[in-house]
Structure 1
Amino acid sequence: MDTSSLEYDYVIVGGGSAGCVLAHRLSADPEIRVLLLEAGPDREPFWVRTPAGVGNVFFDERINWKFSTEPESRLDGRRLYWPRGKVMGGSSAINGMVYVRGFDADYDHWQALGNEGWSWRDVLPYFQRSETSDSGGSTYRGGAGPLRVSFPHKQHPTTDAFVQAGTTIDIPRNPDIAGATQEGVGYLQHTIGGGMRSSTARAYLAPVRSRPNLSVAGESTAARIDVVNGRATGVEFFRAGTRQVARARREVLVCAGAIGSPQLLMLSGIGAPAQLQAHGLPVVQALPGVGANLQDHLAMNAGYEVRAGASMNAALSGWRKFVHGAGYLLNRRGPLAVGASHAVAFVRSDPAVAVPDIQLSFRPLSFAFDSKNQLRMHPFPGVQFASAMLRPRSRGHIALRSADPHAPPAIHANYLSDADDERVMIATLRWIRRIAAAKPLGDLVVREDLPGAQVESDEEVMAFVRRNSQTLYHPAGTCSMGRGPDAVVDARLRVHGVQGLRVVDASVMPTIVSGNTNAPTIMIAEKASDLILEDARR
C-alpha cells in the first residue's frame, strides 16, 4: 500500500488491543477514512489462534518485541523479560487470555484524581459493549459485543478443589469474577470463542476489513509524529525499507502500548526536555511525565507436586499431547482450547486493606521454559499458583536509548523500590500456602516444589522473590491521564499542549488496575472512540 500521497481522517499507530478497537469503531462511518499501522505482521499464525499455544509465541521474535528491563537493583540485578505483541492484535494475540476488569474502586480512584468520566459507573457500559459473554447480557455483562468471553467447557477436578479450598478458609465464593464484584474465589473466564483466541485482530478487525474507508498496513514501524504549529499532522513510518508519511486531517491516535507510546512521543519531541536534548531531539512540547509513572504487577510463582491424576501434565506430555492436538483440530475442544490459568482468588494482604490487593491465579498444570526457551511440562504431576501484587507503590520509567526508532527503549521497572511492596509479596506466599493446605486441595498435595519448605522466614521469602519473581506482563501508566505537571493526556486522552494527538492504551492509566490489563485496555479504546467522534462533531 502506497501511502505517500494519501490523507486520512485518523491515523492509528499500533494494531494492538486498543488500535484494532478504534479501527473498528471509527471506520463504522463510511465518510471517515482510517489508516491502521502495525509494526508486526498482519497475519495470525496457528499458535496465536490456539489458546494453548501461548508458550509457542512467548519467545517468537517474529511476532514478539522481546523486551527486557534494565538490571533491577532490588531483584539481584536481574533483567526481567517483557514479552509484548508485535503482530496485528498486539499483546491480545500472545497473552494468557484472562478476562478480568479490575475493581470498581480502581476507576472511582481515577475520577477522584481529576479524570472526569472515568468512574466505574462511566466505564461499565464500555466493558459491556465490548463483549459477548457466554453467560449472556446482564446488568454487568455484555451479550452482543465483538469480543468473545467464555468459561472452559469443562473444569478440571483439581481446579474445583482450589475453589473449594478457598471457601474452606473463608474466601467468599464468587460465581462471576467479571460481574458485580471481583472479590473472592472463582473460575476464570477467557477471551476465547469457539475454541480459538479472541484477539482484537480477530474480534474487532477481521469483521470490518472489507470496509473501503479502512486501510490496514502491517510491518509498518512508526518513526515520529509530525507536529506543525502545535498540531499533529501525520505519522512518518518505515515500510518495506522506505520512509513514508501518512497525513491525518483530524487526529493521530497513538496506541503503541505502555512501552511504545512514550517512546514514539519522545522520538517526536514530546517529553522531558533534558532527555530529548540528550539524544539530539528538538523539544516540540515539554511534558516531563512522558515515560514516567511506569507500573507493573510483579509476580511470584509457586508450584506443588500433587497426586497422580490430579494434574494435566501427563495429558500435555509425550504421545498424549499429539492425541489432544488431533482432537483440537477436529472439534476445537480439549486441553488446547483453554488458557493456562483456570481459577483465581482476590484477597487482602492485611485485613485493614480496603480492597483486595493480591491476585492468586491457579493452574492445574505446571511447566517451565528450558535453556532453549521451549516450554516443558514438569515430569511429575504438578500445579502452579501465578500471583500478582495488584497495586504496587513502586514506580519506574521508560527512557530513550537512542534517537533511532528501531532501537528498543530502556525499561526501568524499579520493582520493590517501595518497602510496602515487600510486605505484600511476603503476604502473597502466606496466602498461597494457606490455600494449598486447605481441604480438599491440601489432600491432593504431595510437596511444595517451589519455593520449597526450606523458605519460611520473611527474609527467606524476600530472597526467593529477588531471585525468582517475574513480571505478570501488565505495564501501564507511562502516558498518564490527569491534570498535574506530570500528566501526559487529559480526561479525553488528548496530549497536553498538542492538538490533534491522543494516546489510547494502557499507558494512560494513572494507576494500574487491580487485575489483568487487557480487558481494561479494550474498554479504554471503546470509550475513546466515543470521545473522538464527539469531539469531531463539535
Structure 2
Amino acid sequence: MNSSTHDTEFDYIVVGAGSAGCVLANRLSASPNVSVLLLEAGKDAEPFWVRTPAGVGNLFFNERLNWKFFTEPEANLGDRQVYWPRGKILGGSSSINGMVYVRGFASDYDRWQAQGNPGWAWSDVLPYFKRAEHNDYGASESRGVGGPLHVSFPHRQHPTTEAFVRAGAAVGLTRHDDVVAGGDAEGVGYLQHTIGEGRRWSSAHAYVRPVRQRTNLAIESEAVVTRLHLDGRCVVGVEYIRRGQSRTIRARREVILSAGAIGSPHLLMLSGIGPPDHLQEMGVRVRHALPGVGCNLQDHLAINACYEVRKDASLNAALSGWHKYLNGVDYLLHRRGPLAIGASHAVAFVCSSTSIKVPDIQLSFRPLSFAFDSKNKLRMHTFAGVQFASAMLRPRSRGQILLRSPNPFDAPVIHANYLTDPDDMRVMVATLEWTRRLAATAPLADMVVREYLPGENVRSASEVVEFIRRSSQTLFHPAGTCKMGSDSLAVVDERLRVRGIENLRVVDASVMPTIVSGNTNAPTIMIAEKASDMILEDARS
C-alpha cells in the first residue's frame, strides 16, 4: 500500500487502476471524509519505456506490463487468433497505448441518450471532457485547461504529415485545426496526444501521482481480485490475492469495477453475476441472472497499409542505426524529438459511402513504418516508409466475453466475431479505397515510391477481401460488454449501477452501449469523471 494502513474496510473499493480507476481514486478521495482503496493486478511502476512516448513498441508484447490476451479463432479472419494487448500496470492501457487523444463524435453520445440513457448526451459529457484536460489548444467552448490530463500537439510536425493533411484537403475534406473537438463532419487534421513535457501522461501519472500521499487513499498493486462478496443482492466487499496471500476487504458504501471491457464482465461472472446458463455450465453458483454480462462486445477493426517514400519523407532513418542514439540523447536532455511523439500524427475522418452522413472510417497516419519480427521485437523498415492505420468506426458485428473456467487466473474466452455482419466488410473495403485515394493525391503522392502493403498484387475485389481477412487487426478498443441501458441486455443503468445488485457499479469502456467513433481512452476518462460526480451525489442523497 501507499500508506501503513492495514484497514479491512473502506468506503469505496475501486477494482482496476486503469484509465477509469485512476480517475475515480483521485476524485473520490478528494473528500477527506471518504476512504478509498484502489486495487491493481499489475505493478505500481512507471519504467522508462512507459514514460517515453516512443516506447510503445517495447510495451506491446511485454508480459510483465501486458495481459497479452488473444481472441478465439475468428472465422471471418481466416481462423486467426487476434492479439489483444491490455495494460497490466498502474494506469492500465493508458500506460501502454499510442497516446492518441480522440473524443468521438457528438452524435455518439446523443445516440447513447436516445438508447435510454438520460444524462449522456454530448451537452452532458462535454463538461467532463473539459474538466479532465489541460490542453495546449487553450481554453474554449470545447477545450479545457487546468485539468490533470495533459493533451498536446507535437512540438514539431514532420513535412510528410503535412503532405497527408494537404492531400486530404485536396480530395475535398475540410481541414480542421481541432479535428477531434466533437463535430460530426468529414475532415482532416493533426492529432493531439496524452503527452506533457515530452512524456506519456497516463491516467496514473495524471490522476494518482499528484494525490498518492492522501491518507484516505490506499493503493494495492499486484492484487488480483478473484470475486465479489455478496450478502444476498448486496455487494459488501471483494476478495483478492497478492503474492500468494488471500485477503478480504469490506466496502462500507460501494465496490466499483473499472477492470475494462474484458476484466469487468469476467469478474462479474466469476462472482455469479451474468448469463445463468453459462454460469451453470462453468460450475459457478448463480447469484444474480444478468444475461447481458459479457455480451455486446465491440471493437474497431483496422487494416495497416504501408508505402515506401523518398528517403527524406520518413522518420525511419532517424529511428534506426546510430541516428536513434543521437535522438535518444536529445530526448534525455530536452524531452523532444522523435522519441517524444505519439503513435499516429494526423487523422482523416471519412464516410464509406455517399449515403453515410457521419464519418464511419478513421484514417490515422504516421510518417514512419515498422513491423514486429519473429521474436516480437519492433523493427523499423529498412526502407523509408509511412503507414496508415485505417479503421471501421461503428461496427455492426457483436462479440462476447465468456468464462474459460471458474479459475480467476484463467484468461477469459474472447469471441470478437469480426465481420459477422456483411456490411462491416463493405466498410473495411472502403477504408482501403480511401487509403489508396489519399496516397495517390498530391502532395503526398509526390513522395510515394511504391505501395509496399497491401501491394500491387492486391487489386481485384476478391484480392482486397482476402487481404482484409488475412491481415486486419484490432485497433485495441474493446468496449460494450457491460452496456448501459434499460433493455434486456443492459448490465448497468444510466448511473452505472449494476441492475438488480446494490452497492456495485461498473465504470469503464464496458458500459458504452455503442462504441464511440474513435479512440476510446479519452471517452473512458470522461466516463469516470462523470461517474465520480454521480457516486458522490448518490452518497449525499
TM-score by length of 2: 0.99
Secondary structure of 1:362 counterpart: strand
1:100 matched to 2:109? The reply is no
Secondary structure of 1:18 counterpart: helix
Whole-Å separation in 2 of the counterparts to 1:4 and 1:293: 39
Whole-Å separation in 2 of the counterparts to 1:454 and 1:160: 29
Whole-Å separation in 2 of the counterparts to 1:120 and 1:57: 34
CA RMSD of aligned residues (A): 0.9
Aligned to 1:60: 62
> Which one of the candidate residues 133, 136, 153 is aligned to 1:134?
136
> Which one of the candidate residues 416, 434, 439 is aligned to 1:436?
439
Amino acid of the structure 2 residue aligned with 1:202: H
> Which one of the candidate residues 444, 460, 464 is aligned to 1:461?
464
Structure 2: give runs of 5+ residues left out of the alignment.
none
1:200 matched to 2:189? The reply is no
> Which one of the candidate residues 222, 240, 244 is aligned to 1:237?
240
Contact kept, 8 Å, 2:135 with 2:151, in 1: the verdict is yes
> Which one of the candidate residues 258, 265, 282 is aligned to 1:279?
282
* 1:214-249 residue CA offsets vs partner (Å, 9 max, x unmatched): 000000000001110211100100012111011100
Contact kept, 8 Å, 1:20 with 1:89, in 2: the verdict is yes
Whole-Å separation in 1 of the counterparts to 2:256 and 2:139: 31
Aligned to 1:390: 393
Structure 1: give runs of 5+ residues left out of the alignment.
none
Secondary structure of 1:36 counterpart: strand
Whole-Å separation in 1 of the counterparts to 2:7 and 2:330: 50
Aligned to 1:171: 173
| Cα drift, residue 180 of structure 1 | 4.9
| Cα drift, residue 3 of structure 1 | 7.7
Amino acid of the structure 1 residue aligned with 2:101: Y
Amino acid of the structure 1 residue aligned with 2:363: L
> Which one of the candidate residues 13, 21, 27 is aligned to 1:19?
21
Given the superposition, is the C-alpha separation of residues 518 and 63 from structure 1 closer, same or farther in structure 2, using an over 3 Å criterion?
A: same
* 1:143-185 residue CA offsets vs partner (Å, 9 max, x unmatched): 1100000000000000000000000000111110232526400
Whole-Å separation in 2 of the counterparts to 1:495 and 1:164: 47
1:50 matched to 2:38? The reply is no
Secondary structure of 2:497 counterpart: coil
> Which one of the candidate residues 115, 118, 125 is aligned to 2:117?
115
TM-score by length of 1: 0.99
Amino acid of the structure 2 residue aligned with 1:12: V
Aligned to 1:418: 421
Whole-Å separation in 2 of the counterparts to 1:179 and 1:349: 21
| Cα drift, residue 354 of structure 1 | 1.4
> Which one of the candidate residues 514, 522, 526 is aligned to 1:519?
522
Aligned to 1:6: 8
| Cα drift, residue 5 of structure 1 | 5.2
Whole-Å separation in 2 of the counterparts to 1:163 and 1:508: 34
> Which one of the candidate residues 492, 497, 500 is aligned to 1:494?
497
Whole-Å separation in 2 of the counterparts to 1:48 and 1:239: 23
Contact kept, 8 Å, 2:275 with 2:290, in 1: the verdict is yes
> Which one of the candidate residues 35, 38, 54 is aligned to 2:37?
35
Secondary structure of 1:309 counterpart: helix
Contact kept, 8 Å, 2:105 with 2:182, in 1: the verdict is no
Given the superposition, is the C-alpha separation of residues 4 and 223 from structure 1 closer, same or farther in structure 2, using an over 3 Å criterion?
A: farther
Contact kept, 8 Å, 1:3 with 1:244, in 2: the verdict is no
279-288 or 498-507, which moves further after superposition? Answer: 279-288
Whole-Å separation in 1 of the counterparts to 2:83 and 2:5: 35
Amino acid of the structure 2 residue aligned with 1:459: S
* 1:255-297 residue CA offsets vs partner (Å, 9 max, x unmatched): 0000000000000100001111112111111000000000000
Amino acid of the structure 1 residue aligned with 2:321: G
Aligned to 1:87: 89
Aligned to 2:192: 189
* 1:61-99 residue CA offsets vs partner (Å, 9 max, x unmatched): 001000000000000000000000000000000000000
Aligned to 2:291: 288
Given the superposition, is the C-alpha separation of residues 146 and 329 from structure 1 closer, same or farther in structure 2, using an over 3 Å criterion?
A: same
Aligned to 2:258: 255
Aligned residues: 538
Secondary structure of 1:161 counterpart: helix
Amino acid of the structure 2 residue aligned with 1:103: F
| Cα drift, residue 380 of structure 1 | 0.4
Contact kept, 8 Å, 1:42 with 1:88, in 2: the verdict is yes
Aligned to 2:336: 333
> Which one of the candidate residues 346, 363, 366 is aligned to 1:363?
366
Secondary structure of 2:391 counterpart: strand
Aligned to 2:300: 297
Aligned to 1:346: 349
Contact kept, 8 Å, 1:4 with 1:245, in 2: the verdict is no
